[in-house]
C-alpha cells in the first residue's frame, strides 16, 4: 500500500546544508508562517547578512542559532497538492549522532546531504549506515553547494558513484541522486539553467512522486499493551479494556488473538477510540481493545494475531548503536526498554565492531564507545516478546538505559 504522508529524515555531516534545505522547502511550499520568515530575515540582517537565512527557520534552540548547527531533532511539516510531509532534521555534528537514531527509526526515506566540495566523509557514511541499519531502503542523495564547485558535473558524478557503491556493499536500496544548491534554490523546487546537464526531477518533484510502501500495515498484527483501562462509574462496571498503539498489521472485531508471553487465546469483541467504536484498527492507530475473556494482562504484554507469532526470548543477538560517553561495560546491568516493557539485562559478549568507512568487522572487541556500532549478545532477566528488526521495526527495536536512566544505546534484534 503506497502512503500519502511521507516521513523522511535529513542527514549528513555538520554544515552540509540540511537546515537550509528544509527552510527553503518550507518557504517555497508555504509551510512557514510570515512572522517566522520575517524573523529569520531580521535575525540574518542583525548578523550582517542580506535576505532570509533559511536555516534559522529550523534551528529553533538558542544554542543552535548561536553555533549555526542543529542540536535537537527538529520536526517540521508541509504539504503540496500531491502529498503531506513530516521532516525530521537530524543533527550533523558527530556529538549528536544519537539523535539520528530517533529520527530515522520512524522515517520511510532518508535525504542524505553531501557537500559537493568534500564528497562522502566519515559522518556521511555513518549517517547512511545508521539509516540503512534502521530499515530505511529509500535514499535521496542531495549533492549540495553545487554553486561552490561551479555546477560541474564531475563533482556530482564522483559523489553519486561513491554513495551507490557504499549502499550496494550494505545490501542495496533505492538510491536517487540530485545536484542542488539549497542556498540559491537550484533544483530544489525550480529548474536550474546552470545545470542543464542534469535531466532528472527536481527535489520536490522526487519527494512527491517516490513510491514508499507502508510495510508496517502489511505485517502481522502486534499490539503492545500500554495500560489496562477500568473507568470509574457504574456504567463502566463491566468495562475492561487494553490501551495501546497498533505497532503493525490490523485487527478486526471478531479476530482471534494470542496474549503473550502467557499464550492465552481469546477474541477481540470491541475496538474503542475517543471518537467512538471501530470495526477495524490499523498500524499507528491508538485504540482500546476489548476481549472476550477476562485474562491476566498488564502493561508490557503483547497481543498478537494467531498466525506468525513473535518469540518470547531471554537471549539474543542485537546490533547496537552506542550513544553515551560512558563506554559499554560487559556484564554490567542495564535496563532494556522494548515496546512498553522494561527488563533488566546484561551484555555478555561483543561479536564485532563495524568500521563505517570500510564496513570491516573488527574483532575481538571488549568495548563500544560513543557512535560505535557493533553486534552483541544480550541476556534479559525476563522474556521479551519480539520479532527480528528486519521483519518488524516496532517489535524488533529497543533502547538501553544505565543506572542513571540515561539512554546509552539503541538496538536492533537479530533473527
- Residue 262 and residue 368 in one domain: no
pLDDT at 336: 98
Q: How confident is the model at residue 212 (pLDDT cuts 50, 70, 90)?
A: confident
- Residue 390 and residue 336 in one domain: yes
Which of 213, 236, 269 is the last residue before a domain boundary? 213
Is the separation of the CB atoms in 272 and 287 below 8 Å? yes
Phi, psi for residue 208 in degrees, rounded to 5: -75, -30
The per-residue pLDDT for range 197-210, each reduced to its tens digit, is: 999 999 999 999 99
- Residue 89 and residue 74 in one domain: yes
Check pLDDT > 70 for residue 50. yes
Contact residues for 328 (Cβ-Cβ < 8 A; gap 6+): 320, 322, 347, 350, 367, 368, 369, 372, 376, 408, 409
Check pLDDT > 90 for residue 214. no
pLDDT at 93: 52
Contact residues for 208 (Cβ-Cβ < 8 A; gap 6+): 80, 82, 83
Q: Cα–Cα distance between 109 and 394 in angstroms, integer? A: 16
Check pLDDT > 80 for residue 22. yes
Range of the domain at 72: 5-213
Q: 220 is written with which cell numbers?
A: 502481522
- Residue 362 and residue 249 in one domain: no
Q: Which of 8-17, 24-33, 149-158 has the highest mean pLDDT?
A: 149-158
Q: How confident is the model at residue 231 (pLDDT cuts 50, 70, 90)?
A: confident
pLDDT at 42: 80
The per-residue pLDDT for range 374-387, each reduced to its tens digit, is: 999 999 999 999 99
Stretch 334-348: mean pLDDT: 97
Contact residues for 77 (Cβ-Cβ < 8 A; gap 6+): 31, 84, 85, 86, 87
CATH number at residue 66: 3.40.50.300
pLDDT at 68: 41
- Residue 138 and residue 109 in one domain: yes
- Residue 9 and residue 106 in one domain: yes
Question: Please, where are the H alpha helices in 153-233?
Answer: 153-170, 203-209, 215-218
Check pLDDT > 90 for residue 19. no
Question: Sign of the CA dihedral 41, 43, 45, 47?
Answer: negative
Stretch 324-336: mean pLDDT: 94
Q: Which of 34-43, 238-247, 256-265 has the highest mean pLDDT?
A: 256-265
Check pLDDT > 70 for residue 91. no
- Residue 182 and residue 132 in one domain: yes
- Residue 161 and residue 267 in one domain: no
Phi, psi for residue 167 in degrees, rounded to 5: -65, -40
- Residue 138 and residue 178 in one domain: yes
Q: How confident is the model at residue 71 (pLDDT cuts 50, 70, 90)?
A: very low
Q: How confident is the model at residue 355 (pLDDT cuts 50, 70, 90)?
A: very high
Is the separation of the CB atoms in 328 and 414 below 8 Å? no
- Residue 159 and residue 171 in one domain: yes
* Interstrand relation of 138-144 and 174-179 (parallel, antiparallel or unpaired): parallel
pLDDT at 65: 39
Q: Cα–Cα distance between 322 and 334 in angstroms, integer? A: 13
Check pLDDT > 80 for residue 347. yes
CA 259, chain centre distance (Å): 28
CATH number at residue 350: 2.40.30.10
Q: 80 is written with which cell numbers?
A: 503540496
pLDDT greater at residue 407 or residue 181: 181
DSSP secondary structure code for residue 88 in this structure: E
pLDDT at 54: 79
Residue entry with cell 506468525: 308
Q: Which of 117, 132, 63, 116 minimizes the C-alpha distance to 91?
A: 63
DSSP secondary structure code for residue 394 in this structure: H
What is the C-alpha end-to-end distance of the chain, expressed in Å? 25
Check pLDDT > 70 for residue 3. no
DSSP secondary structure code for residue 270 in this structure: E
The per-residue pLDDT for range 234-249, each reduced to its tens digit, is: 666 678 899 999 999 9
Q: Cα–Cα distance between 18 and 112 in angstroms, integer? A: 9
The rounded percent of the chain whose pLDDT value lies above 70 is 91
Q: 382 is written with which cell numbers?
A: 525476563
pLDDT at 43: 76
- Residue 79 and residue 20 in one domain: yes
- Residue 197 and residue 241 in one domain: no
The per-residue pLDDT for range 112-140, each reduced to its tens digit, is: 999 999 999 998 998 999 999 999 999 99
Mean pLDDT of the chain: 89
SS3 375: strand
How many domains is the chain partitioned into structurally? 3
Check pLDDT > 70 for residue 37. yes
Amino acid at each position: 500500500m503506497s502512503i500519502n504522508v511521507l516521513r523522511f529524515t535529513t542527514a549528513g555531516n555538520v554544515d552540509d546544508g540540511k537546515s537550509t534545505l528544509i527552510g527553503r522547502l518550507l518557504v517555497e511550499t508555504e509551510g512557514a508562517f510570515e512572522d517566522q520568515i520575517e524573523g529569520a530575515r531580521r535575525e540574518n540582517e542583525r548578523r550582517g547578512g542580506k535576505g532570509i537565512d533559511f536555516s534559522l527557520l529550523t534551528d529553533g534552540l538558542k544554542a543552535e542559532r548561536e553555533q549555526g548547527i542543529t542540536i535537537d531533532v527538529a520536526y517540521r511539516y508541509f504539504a503540496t497538492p500531491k502529498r503531506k510531509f513530516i521532516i525530521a532534521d537530524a543533527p550533523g555534528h558527530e556529538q549528536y549522532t544519537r539523535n539520528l537514531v530517533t529520527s530515522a527509526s520512524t522515517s520511510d526515506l532518508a535525504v542524505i546531504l553531501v557537500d559537493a566540495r568534500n564528497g562522502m566523509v566519515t559522518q556521511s557514511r555513518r549517517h547512511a549506515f545508521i539509516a540503512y541499519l534502521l530499515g530505511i531502503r529509500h535514499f535521496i542523495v542531495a549533492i549540495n553547494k553545487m554553486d561552490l564547485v561551479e555546477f560541474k558535473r564531475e563533482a556530482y558524478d564522483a559523489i553519486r558513484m561513491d554513495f551507490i557503491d557504499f549502499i550496494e556493499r550494505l545490501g542495496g536500496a533505492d538510491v536517487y541522486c540530485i545536484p542542488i544548491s539549497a542556498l540559491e534554490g537550484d533544483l530544489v523546487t525550480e529548474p536550474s539553467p546552470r545545470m542543464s546537464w542534469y535531466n532528472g526531477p527536481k527535489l520536490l518533484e522526487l519527494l512527491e512522486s517516490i513510491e514508499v510502501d507502508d510495510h508496517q500495515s502489511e505485517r502481522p498484527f502486534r499490539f503492545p499493551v500500554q495500560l489496562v483501562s477500568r473507568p470509574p462509574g457504574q456504567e463502566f462496571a463491566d468495562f475492561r479494556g487494553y490501551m495501546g498503539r497498533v505497532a503493525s498489521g490490523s485487527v478486526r472485531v471478531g479476530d482471534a488473538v494470542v496474549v503473550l508471553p502467557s499464550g492465552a487465546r481469546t477474541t477481540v469483541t470491541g475496538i474503542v477510540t475517543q471518537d467512538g467504536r471501530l470495526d477495524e484498527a490499523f498500524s499507528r492507530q491508538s485504540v482500546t481493545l476489548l476481549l472476550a475473556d477476562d485474562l491476566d494482562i498488564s502493561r508490557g504484554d503483547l497481543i498478537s494475531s494467531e498466525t506468525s507469532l513473535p518469540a518470547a526470548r531471554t537471549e539474543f543477538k542485537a546490533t547496537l548503536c552506542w550513544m553515551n560517553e560512558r563506554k559499554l561495560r560487559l556484564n554490567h546491568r542495564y535496563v532494556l526498554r522494548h515496546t512498553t516493557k522494561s527488563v533488566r539485562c546484561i551484555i555478555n559478549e561483543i561479536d564485532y565492531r563495524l568500521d563505517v568507512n570500510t564496513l570491516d568487522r573488527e574483532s575481538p572487541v571488549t568495548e563500544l564507545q560513543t557512535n560505535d556500532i557493533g553486534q552483541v549478545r544480550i541476556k534479559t532477566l525476563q522474556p521479551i516478546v519480539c520479532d527480528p528488526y528486519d521483519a518488524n521495526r516496532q517489535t524488533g527495536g529497543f533502547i538501553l538505559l544505565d543506572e542513571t536512566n540515561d539512554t546509552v544505546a539503541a538496538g536492533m534484534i537479530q533473527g
